[in-house]
Structure 1
Amino acid sequence: AKVLFKTPFAGKLLVTVERNQVLEHHYLETDNKSAEFTFSLGDEHLPNAYVTATLIRPLDNSNLPLTVAHGFASVKVEEEDTKIPVEIVAVEKSRSKTKQKIKIKTARNAQVTVAVVDEGILQIKNFQTPDIHGFFYQKRALEVNSHDLYPFLFPELSLASTSSVGGDGYDLEKRINPLSNGRVNLVAYWSGQIETGLSGEAEFEVDIPQFSGDLRIMAVAYKDNAFGSNNKNMKVADPIVISTALPRFLSPTDEVIVPVNISNTEKTAANVTASIAISGKLSAVSQVAQRLSIAPEKEARTYFTIKAAEAMGNGSVVVTVNNGKEKFVEKTELTVRPAASLLKASQSGVIAGGSTATIDLRGNDFIPSTVTSRIVVSRSPMVQYAKALDYLLGYPHGCIEQTISKAFPQLYFGELAKTIAPKTYLVKAGESDFNPTFNVQAAIQKVESMQLPNGAVSYWPASTEESAWGTAYATHFLLEAQRAGFEVNASALGRMLDYLTTKAGTAATEYDYVYNETGGYTQLRIASRTTMYSLYTLALGGKANRASMNYYKQNQQLLTLDTRYLLAAAYKQIGDERSYKALLPADYVPPVGARGLGGSFASPIRNLALTVNTLIETDPNNLQIPRLARRLSEAMASSSYLNTQEAAFSFLALGKLAKKNANSTATAKMTINGKGYQFDGKELIISTNSPLRGLGAASGKGSVYWFAQTEGISATGTYTEEDAGLRVRKQFFNRFGQPISTFRQNDLVVVKISLSSTDGSPVENVVVTDLLPASFEIENPRLTEPRDMPWIQAPTVPDHFDIRDDRISYYTTATSEPKTFYYMVRVITKGTFTLGPVSADAMYSGDFRSYSGGGKVKVD
């Protein structure tokens, strides 16, 4: 390689050839502000090397202020032997439902992989065929820094410079359709690794399914240090191509007019018979066979009418076209999904030795085919809270609070969770059982992935907004997980503790609300519960913030009953017995307050549960523990609803106590739906597909605990319209902002969702879910004042939203001022359809809810 240097002045030139190290160096004399250098290229220079130059000017009487100059350039190096030619031999056109052999010709004894993928899939992200040679032989960065000593030799000039490397400098189970099918069959095949052998050829056979379109065949090959790749397209088309326009789902009793497009790809006319066959939860309403005449290379359309049954489930629509010579078939799977959410009914109780109990969960209007019932019998007193734990483990949202709340209890009741929650909410690949150990480790990894640069964690994945309470909660979880033997990233945990130290160093207050005698709320200024929880967590982690602890110790008027326990426990953790005893209340008499729906998520039950958990961890022999645990158990039993914070901390506290007990020898005979079962001490699980009714009789020392649950979907699809703390409404508009109530196929409809709180107070963590009719298809869920719709004013930006085929969910805070969300739908199918209600509820309180706007929709 020959290199030409152009220099700003004459002098001595130090030339190096570098990349990750200095490969060679030379000195040249420059004359007439230029120099030339030649060096030999070898394998060590692949795929590129850098030639650097440092020019030194002799110290003379020149007025030029420069004494040194630098420069570098990359030299691209190629070796033909590193490239492997790859040839793909395959037919250019194929019919569907056939097998095609693809032959790859390349170097002998090379390793080859072949991928065959629908071009439609590849176009979603403009996927390019991999250039494997370009990847392994791409330009590498210069990894050598150059320095000179001129600042030390001539400090009065201070003109030396440093060259540096080039470059830019140093990322809902209960709120989704519970039914699914295999309707969407993606065409994407991969061969795995194939060896060409001595012939230099390899074959891969593809079974092309029901498909019409373009397939891209991509092949990559390598041998030693040589690489190659290529691609080729294969067009898949039949003489007769069928395209059935069905919606993605139906609801019970929906009636849909199905257009079927039939394309004749041949150069002669075709006289065909089109017929439809229905199975599963569907039935045909119109004529099932029709005759058509289609011109060459043209298409024709015919219509069929089908209806969904009253039951939920899957069905199939098979369209067959016979042109007299052969039959062409297209099969489409279609789900009949519920028009309302899945409903549950449950009971729990205890049977003391020598007594009996009746279990009865009938009386619901569930569709028989959707009913699933289960009863769990155990000696563990925790099984009476299985309803709450099962609900907790199945919470559908992916925020930091619920991620931790689902995993935290499993640190201490893995086996109980495995017994009462056999449904695999989160299962490691290859395992079929509920796996609490894996769930905890997965939660740890998710928590660590949500950490921000300042050490805090965000509330939602991919969000950049820190959550102070979420960080304290996450730190507490990681500390207990680490103590339980789970692997925790020490750096991530350390940064969380540092963040809490900084956050807790600032005195912060908030307002608490408790019921007064008139039935209203009294507002109290208190120390921030997030700060107090952070101080306890810091002490638990060995990094107590003594200064902040002393501040609140001197300002006890800011402390509530539960935060006094937290601060006392923090002192106990650092060995300050005197402060612990001075702060610890003599008894815990919780005030009656409202649930907190955000911030620290405070509530009477959560605060009591956190207090019990804190005492058990800090002072396990404290005489208050049995009394407070009994109060907590009673509070849980009397509450019709536990949010995730209440459930998580309650299970932590009571679970740690339960592990120390369980000397029961009680057994029981159970008669469920006429069949007998024997409980001998090991957890007994009985499952059935009908509503539960039975009798249990216990004997022996101790008691037997049971939990029963029946779930299903309402046969009528009815719901009660109500506004309890929230008000949500749905309206339809055309693109000009005019309200509409009738719909025609291909209409573009703007859906407006309005949300507000009914009493004027803010309600945090509200989920708004709008169920669509089967005739609608979401077109633009992020609609925000487009140019041709100026009537849309100030749409609300949600904190988070989730889009599905049949529904859209928004996550936000409701206030007295209505919030509005807009999205567009396209009316795609004619017929009569069920319009699901729009619902709003607070994730952490069942007291706040609203349901509105269901009915029927007819599309002409």
Structure 2
Amino acid sequence: WLHGAPAPGLKTVVEMRVSAGKTRFEKYPGFHFDDESKRFDALTETLFESRLDDKGEARIPLKINIKDAPGMLNVHLKTRVFERGGDFSVDRITVPYSPFVSYAGLRIPEGRGWNGALYSDREQLIPVVTVDENGHPVSRRKLHVEVFEIQWRWWWQRTGNEDLGYYLRSRHARKIIDDYMSTKNGKGIYSLRFPQQTFGRKFIRITDPVSGHSTGKVFYTDYPGWWDQPGHGAPGGAEMLTFSTDKDKYRVGETVHIKLPKARKGKALISIENGNRVLETFWMDTEKEKDGARFVITDDMAPNVYVHISYIQPHERTDNDRPIRLYGIKNIEVENPDTHLEPVLEVADELRPETEVTLRVREKKGRPMTYSVFVVDEGLLSLTRFRTPDPWSHFFAREALGVRTYDMYKYVLGAFHGRIAGLLAVGGDADLVLAGEAKINRFKPVVKFIGTFTTGKNQSRTHRFRMPNYVGAVRTMVVAASPDKVAYGSVSKTSEVKKPLMVLATAPRVLAPAEETEVAVTVFAMKPAVKKVTVRVSGNELTEWEGARQQQVRFDKPGEKTLHFRLKVKKRTGAARIKVTAQSGNEKARYEIEIPVSVRNPRITRTHQAVLHNPGEVKDWTYTPFGLKGTNKTVLEVSVIPPIGLENRLNYLITYPHGCVEQTVSSVFPQLYLTRLTEVEPLQQARIKDHILAGLDRLKTFQTSGGGFAYWPGGTKADDWATSYAGHFMLEARRLGYPLPPDMLEKWLHYQTRRAAGWSDNPALSIYLRRSRQTAQAYRLFTLALAGKPALAPMNRMREIESLYPATKWLLIGAYALAGKKNTARSMMKETSVRMDGYRNDPYTYGDTSRDNAIILYVLSLLGEDDKAAILLEQVAKDLASDQWLSTQTTAYSLMAVAAYAGKHPGHGTAFKYTLDGKTRSVESGKSLMQLPLPARAGQSYRIAVESKTEGPLFVKLIQSGIPLESPDAAENNNLEMNLRYYDTNGNPVDPASIKQGTDFIAEIRITHPGTLPPYRNMALTYLFPSGWELTNARLDNIRRWKSSPADYRDIRDDRVMTYFDLQRGETKTYRFLFHAAYPGRYYLPSVQCEAMYDHRISALTGGKWVEVMP
């Protein structure tokens, strides 16, 4: 436990997955140590499944016997420790594993030919290194060198076994070099000579005879005159010089001693360089100064410098095989003690909950400093293995070499021909990135920022704060900087937070009405004086307890014991609050949990409507709210325009469970115009503002680097229609005074302008795809004109296209009108109809006939074409008021279009009176539509009568909604086949109706396109799982045994997982979810649903049912 108590006897499962890694050694950047011809399939197994010992420990032998690996491997370990109440903590870590005692590495030089190919008519020098598993150099004799001629990758890189390794073992491979070489002190040069000029792809492999490790890499060869690169005809000098210094790290004031290889004659130019300039240069005569060169470390050399040496032999010298010019680079770390601050933190090793904590801060040498203090839950920090910030390491990180050096020696006719790759590369990326991903811990965290403070010379400061009701461990961190010098430092200390008696309760993350669960209460007795403990549980109005609410437990010695209480949730929604208290003598402890209680079935809506044609005409209804208590809503909607079902249509958009960019915009776009349609109370107006600002902020997660908007967050490919739709929303929001995230609109404008200019029509496409592309381009042009940046040339080109679809043409007309080309717009209007052929679903613009009617109505309203707009208003309103299914795109655009019309035609307002259970109220408004919330207490009946006071028709609609406890839907498949099965980790069938606590099991869902309709796009699989099951988040997991089909996006929450994908004709996709039966109790398993988000003809559903987790 975080508070230091051992956790004896807890069930523990450790799983291991071994996968291929990337073999790297810090001192040999640029060298290749892996064998590309070897394929390694991941190995997964359960290492340990048992209980911890009395000390809360388990020692697990790790045996990995893998011989033919391509190089270093990664061992992924996932550990789960299960509390007795059902909760579990998870640790995931990835560590490198070396299957070899030593490694061979090579570096292919960059050639002069095509694609970096090496010239085959001359000697090529290949640097080779041999190191042990820790990267230390080792000498090797008889390294086996093989070079193969391989054909183009058209077949050996296909799937299955036809990989490079298979090819090399086949009769098709031709070995053209079979040789041996040696390394001394871990270094060597292999002289690669081809027997004849050759062009094409080669593979070189070098094998260490001691360890059996091999390194192998594909490269190209050609010969001069074939794909020559200009300017590379002169022979290049082999340019490697190795030298050393007496040590790698120095302090300011120390002397660096440079040792060069023995040489008879020659001169060396030594340059001391840092990240941006040359600090010092001097010449050295290698014949006279045989002891090497020296220089003194100064302040400006921190945090590191590079020693760059250019060594030049006399041109006439040919008594050695070295090139006329060699160079080498070596990094030297430089540390200045004056840049280190040493803050001292004094805080107790053990802290007590709900008491005042005192901490004291000073600098060890009394230096002044400015510092910040943080106190954070250690369990929370371990989620990412967070290390205390070290500002010194950040500001004094190794700098990359910023000086580029050029010379002409390789263009001078040399006494040596050949070229090798430089041995050393330089860079500033020495910091290690940990591979561990996550520790999941369910404690309520402590996160406190105490503040930023300053101490003077020889001063200290004391800080106090109150520790909340928390048990575990906290880390106090102090990060400091000098106020007047370049100096930094930090310090941290972890303290256990505990007291003699502690209590911890565990329960599911979420619950649903009428569910039953066990609340497990773990009692910790940390001192021998704690003997008899009384534990009580209580709750709020959503909870009721079955059995005793008070239990006693006795301790003979310090330790922990777990008690169980049975909780039943009442048939209502809200938040269930559970309070646990424990007492032993004068020692007391308490723990509180708040659990969301929500029903996860779909909301059901029922409507009653009437038309009152004359003043004084009355319509009355009796209504009874339905659904679970807390979910009931009743709204009276009265309007002088045809009814549009505003309440249920807007609620549908706001509560829609999926969140692509189209649905995100659709949920907020119509809310910009609500005040045009109806009276909005100040509280509702504030909520609308929050919704719109949240929508604008969320849009940032969809924007690509190019400025467009992807369909899903984090996507890299922009969606044409959604990009215009999001931009349209941003422009309107900005016009109405909402602030936009910085640069988002500018990047969008740049993208739209570029795409509009580059678009061209393609008559070869199918009629439907061509129409989609044309409509997307017209919408793009419309939004650019709306932004005040009309693209006139693309608009004119599009106007020349014959037989444009009506909605496409109206968007283009709108673009001309907004661009100030009124005459052109009027001319086009005369020849454009508002009627069009019907269609169901356009998967590229997310539209249908109803959506396109709304687009035309929207444009007509902007243009002031009242007569034509009135024709479409009736149809759009009729669609909204009906019970027919409408997509989010159609719903949002229809509401926007009606609001646009209403904004131009406010009418004479609404006047009526209504009587509810004998009480009469008169209502008058200048708006075309009024919404009045009515009482909706479950189980009570109400009578309402509405009387018109308006000249002309008055449309009255009574809208009721509620969510039932159990889903009324039966299992069904509509143009889609869905099969669901459950099995354990050994493949044995599992009945979800009754699963034993602690069982790991898989839910497998197979979804098949029956092949009768075109391919399905934008499919959504929604799996809401019972409260007593815990889902393993595969994105966090490094142990993946049960693979699923690819998905475009996945949204994982506490009680559900939603998967999005496309489905080709006849295709089957399989999705698997790993669950753990965590909490004993009785829970509701809602329907599993798969649907096409823009075509309601395509759906599949399973029936909901009650399930149990058995203790």
Question: Please, what TM-score do these two structures have when normalized by structure 2?
Answer: 0.64
Aligned residues of 1:478 and 1:488 also touching (Cα < 8 A): no
**2:996 maps to amino acid:** R
Is there any run of 5+ residues in structure 2 with no aligned partner, and where?
A: 1-254, 430-441
Q: Which moved more, 1:201-210 or 1:125-134?
A: 201-210
Relative to structure 1, the CA distance from residue 680 to residue 493 in structure 2 (aligned partners, 3 Å threshold; closer, same or farther) is: closer
Counterpart selection for 1:807 from 1043, 1056, 1065: 1056
Q: 3-state SS of the aligned residue for 2:401? A: coil
SS at match of 1:738: coil
**Cα gap change, 1:306 to 1:593, in 2 (>3 Å):** same
Q: Which residue of 2 aligns with 1:509?
A: 765
Q: Which string of whole-angstrom CA distances, capped at 9 and with x for unpartnered residues, describes residues 360-390 of structure 1?
A: 6934422344434556778898986454345
**1:526-554 CA-partner distances (Å, limit 9, x unpaired):** 62412442255247646859699869956
**Residues 536/341 of structure 1: CA separation in 2 closer, same or farther (3 Å cut):** closer
CA deviation after TM superposition for structure 1 residue 219, in Å = 1.4
Retained in 2: the 8 A contact 1:143–1:165?
Answer: no
**Which moved further from structure 2: 130-139 or 804-813?**
804-813
Match of 2:1005 in 1: 753
- CA 1:314–1:580 in structure 2 vs 1: closer, same or farther (change >3 Å)? closer
Bigger drift between 32-41 and 42-51 goes to 32-41
From 766, 779, 783, the counterpart of 2:1019: 766
Q: Whole-Å Cα distance in 2 between the matches of residues 590 and 361 of structure 1?
A: 42
User: Once the two structures are superposed, what CA deviation does each residue of 1:375-411 show, in whole Å capped at 9, x if it has no partner?
Assistant: 6778898986454345334444331222333454466
Q: Could you tell me how far 1:125 is from its partner in structure 2? A: 0.9
What is the rounded CA distance, in whole Å, between the counterparts of 1:60 and 1:703 in structure 2?
109
Letter of the 1:530 counterpart: R
2:406 and 2:388 map into 1 onto residues whose CA distance is 42
SS state at 1:659 partner:
helix
In 1: Cα distance, 2:944 partner to 2:679 partner: 24
Matched, 1:777 2:1030: yes
1:4 equivalent in alignment to 2:248: no
- 1:206-225 deviation per Cα after TM superposition (whole angstroms, max 9, x unaligned): 43333332222221122222
| Pair 1:133 & 2:392 matched | yes
Matched, 1:288 2:545: no
Q: What corresponds to 1:679 in structure 2?
A: 924
Summarize the Cα distance change of 1:832–1:636 in structure 2 as closer, same or farther, 3 Å threshold.
closer
* Distance in 1 (alpha carbons) for counterparts of 2:607 and 2:755: 43
* Partner Cα separation in structure 2 for residue 731 and residue 348 of structure 1: 44
Deviation at 1:128, TM superposition (A): 0.7
- C-alpha offsets along residues 482-539 of structure 1, whole Å, 9 cap, x if unaligned? 8888665434432344345545455562465xxxxxxxxxxxxx62412442255247
> Which among 296, 304, 310 is matched to residue 48 of structure 1?
304
Tell me, in whole angstroms, the C-alpha distance in 2 between the residues paired with 1:195 and 1:46.
27
1:824 maps to which of 1054, 1062, 1074: 1074
CA distance in 2, matches of 1:252, 1:62: 92
The CA distance in 1 between the partners of 2:507 and 2:747, in whole Å, is: 53
1:533 alignment counterpart? 776
* Separation in 2, partners of 1:229, 1:42: 25
| TM-aligned CA distance change 1:836 to 1:382, over 3 Å | closer
SS at match of 1:302: strand
* Structure 2 Cα separation of the partners of residues 144 and 706 of structure 1: 79
Task: Name the residue aligned to 1:340.
Answer: 601
Aligned to 1:434: 689
2:678 and 2:296 map into 1 onto residues whose CA distance is 69
2:782–2:812 CA contact under 8 A, matched in 1: no
Distance 1:657 1:711 in 2: 28
Equivalent residue of 2:488, what SS?
strand
Q: Deviations over 1:108-164 (max 9, x none)?
A: 653222222222211111111111221122222333333346689999999999999
Question: 2:192 maps to which residue?
Answer: none
Task: Return closer, same or farther for 1:802/1:241 CA change in 2, 3 Å cut-off.
Answer: same
Matched, 1:223 2:467: no
AA partner of residue 258 (structure 2):
L
Instruction: Return closer, same or farther for 1:650/1:778 CA change in 2, 3 Å cut-off.
Output: same
Describe the superposition over 1:564-610 as per-residue Cα deviations: whole angstroms up to 9, x where unpaired: 545676788696978995797442323232233x3222310112223
What is the 5 A alignment of 1:547-626?
A: 553=800, 556=803, 559-565=804-810, 581=827, 585-596=831-842, 598-614=843-859, 624-626=868-870
Aligned residue number for residue 207 of structure 1: 466
5+ unaligned residues in a row in structure 1: which ranges? 170-182, 425-430, 513-525
2:972 counterpart SS class = strand
Structure 2 CA distance for partners of 1:787 and 1:378, relative to 1, 3 Å: closer
Q: Which is richer in helix?
A: 1
Aligned-partner Cα distance in 1 for 2:877–2:512: 42
Q: In the superposition, relative to structure 1, how do residues 463 and 32 fare at CA in structure 2: closer, same or farther (>3 Å)?
A: farther
CA distance in structure 2 between the aligned counterparts of 1:834 and 1:99, rounded to whole angstroms: 44
Partner of 2:233: none
**Residues 121-130 or 281-290, more deviating:** 281-290
Is contact 2:345-2:493 (8 Å) kept?
yes
1:229 CA displacement: 0.8
1:519 corresponds to: none
Shift of 1:561: 4.0
Kept in 2, the 8 Å contact 1:352–1:699? The answer is: no
Alpha carbons of structure 1 residues 335 and 474: separation in structure 2 relative to 1, 3 Å: closer
Residue identity in the other structure for 1:438: L
Residue 9 (structure 2) aligns with: none
SS at match of 1:280: coil
For 1:618-654, what per-residue CA distance to the aligned partner results, in whole angstroms no more than 9, with x for missing partners?
x655964444444434444446333222133334444
CA distance in 2, matches of 1:706, 1:4: 94
User: Considering only CA atoms, is the larger Rg found in Structure 1 or Structure 2?
Assistant: 2
1:304 lines up with 2:559 in the alignment: no
Matched, 1:398 2:630: no
1-side partners of 2:445 and 2:849: how far apart? 51
- Name the residue aligned to 1:91: 348
Name the CA distance, whole Å, in 2 between partners of 1:493 and 1:165.
Answer: 42
The residue correspondences of 1:147-546 to structure 2 (distance < 5 A) are: 147-148=406-407, 166-167=426-427, 185-196=444-455, 200-224=459-483, 225-267=486-528, 270-338=531-599, 340-345=601-606, 354=615, 358=619, 362-373=623-634, 385=646, 387-409=648-670, 419=680, 434-435=689-690, 438=693, 441-442=696-697, 445-447=700-702, 450-452=703-705, 457-474=709-726, 488-499=744-755, 501-502=757-758, 504=760, 506-507=762-763, 509-510=765-766, 512=768, 527-535=770-778, 537-538=780-781, 541=784
Aligned residues between the structures: 816
Counterpart of 1:605, as a letter, is S
User: Which residue of the partner structure matches residue 179 of structure 1?
Assistant: none
Change (3 A) 1:481 1:830: closer
Q: Could you say what the CA RMSD is over the residues aligned between the two structures, in angstroms?
A: 4.7
CA drift of 1:194 comes to: 2.6
Q: Which moved more, 1:63-72 or 1:651-660?
A: 63-72
Whether contact under 8 Å (2:625, 2:634) holds in the other structure is no
- Is the Cα–Cα contact under 8 Å of residues 278 and 316 in structure 1 kept in the other structure? yes
Q: Secondary structure at the match of 2:1045?
A: coil
Letter in 2 for 1:2: V
Kindly tell me: are residues 355 and 802 of structure 1, through their superposed partners in 2, closer, same or farther at Cα, counting changes over 3 Å? Answer: farther
Q: 1:222 to 1:606 in 2, by over 3 A?
A: same
- Describe the superposition over 1:406-458 as per-residue Cα deviations: whole angstroms up to 9, x where unpaired: 4544666677699389669xxxxxx86625763574366444xx3155x6542
Which amino acid in 2 is paired with 1:721? A
Q: State the alpha-carbon separation in 2 of the partners of residues 677 and 411 from structure 1.
A: 28
Normalised by the size of structure 1, how large is the TM-score? 0.80
Counterpart secondary structure, 2:341: coil
Q: 1:414 & 1:490 partners in 2: Cα distance?
A: 28
Partner-residue secondary structure (3-state), 2:406: coil
Look up the SS of the partner of 1:470 in the other structure. helix
Contact 2:637 2:930 survives alignment (8 Å): yes
**How do residues 735-754 of structure 1 correspond to structure 2 at under 5 angstroms?**
735-741=985-991, 742-754=994-1006
Task: Give the Cα–Cα distance (whole angstroms) in 2 for the partners of residues 579 and 663 of structure 1.
Answer: 27
Aligned to 2:908: 664
Which whole-Å CA distance do the structure 2 matches of 1:547 and 1:314 have between them?
Answer: 56
